[in-house]
Amino acid sequence: MRLVVADSGPLIALARIGRLDLLPKVVEQVLVPHTVAAECTRDPDKPGARAIRMALQSGLLRETADPDATALAAAQAQADPGELAAIALAAALPAPVLIDDAIARRIARAHGVQVIGTAGVLLKARKTGAVERIAPLLAEMRANGYFLSDALIEEMLRRSGERSAND
């Protein structure tokens, strides 16, 4: 994958487990709308904030201006400003959006935007050999308060080859 636009949730999830480094292993460039960058770094004491700030400063993540999101005006009551900015930028480029929130994913798909989630990044990292196993990373995300359904974890483990459908 050449380019992806990131929402705050996946960035925070990866930062909290110390694995923002996986992003450049699965995608060439990660764009972060200004609103998303601000959500992630506004409070330096929040988990992951420092790591995301450092990733922005180092160029691992590239902050961009917020796009015109007027096309998504009808979705404003359903998604937060960062999600809408990420979806609008992804739609304008066009590029996939890295987003986990179920409602925001539906909005993105309704606007023709390809969606990838944090678990999808981990799966791509596993398939490229950047990580040996994703099970410990998924468990660490959960331990850090990130919601992952049992069904999603089972599906990712099956798709990664870490668990068969018969397990």
Residue 64 in contact with residue 86, Cβ under 8 Å?
A: no
Q: Comparing C-alpha atoms, which of 101, 110, 53 is closest to residue 80?
A: 101
Q: What is the pLDDT of residue 18?
A: 96
* Domain edges within the chain: 1-167
- Residue 153 binned pLDDT confidence (cut-offs 50, 70, 90): very high
Percent above pLDDT 90 for the chain? 81
CA distances from 109 to 2, 38, 134 (A): 19, 25, 26
Q: What is the pLDDT of residue 67?
A: 84
Q: What is the pLDDT of residue 77?
A: 62
Q: Where are the alpha helices (DSSP H) in the chain?
A: 8-16, 23-26, 34-41, 49-58, 81-92, 102-110, 118-127, 135-143, 150-160
Q: What is the pLDDT of residue 47?
A: 87
Residue 129: is its pLDDT beyond 70? yes
Q: What is the pLDDT of residue 66?
A: 82
Q: Comparing C-alpha atoms, which of 39, 33, 34, 17 is closest to residue 119?
A: 17
pTM: 0.91
Residue 30 in contact with residue 7, Cβ under 8 Å?
A: no
Residue 34 in contact with residue 127, Cβ under 8 Å?
A: no
User: What sign for the dihedral angle of Cα 64, 24, 9, 116?
Assistant: positive
- Residue 73 binned pLDDT confidence (cut-offs 50, 70, 90): low
- Residue 1 binned pLDDT confidence (cut-offs 50, 70, 90): confident
Q: What is the pLDDT of residues 85-125, one digit of tens each?
A: 999 999 999 999 999 999 999 999 999 999 999 999 999 99
CATH of 1-167, one of 3.30.160.20, 3.40.50.1010, 3.30.1330.10, 3.40.30.10: 3.40.50.1010
Residue 31: is its pLDDT beyond 70? yes
Q: What is the pLDDT of residue 76?
A: 65
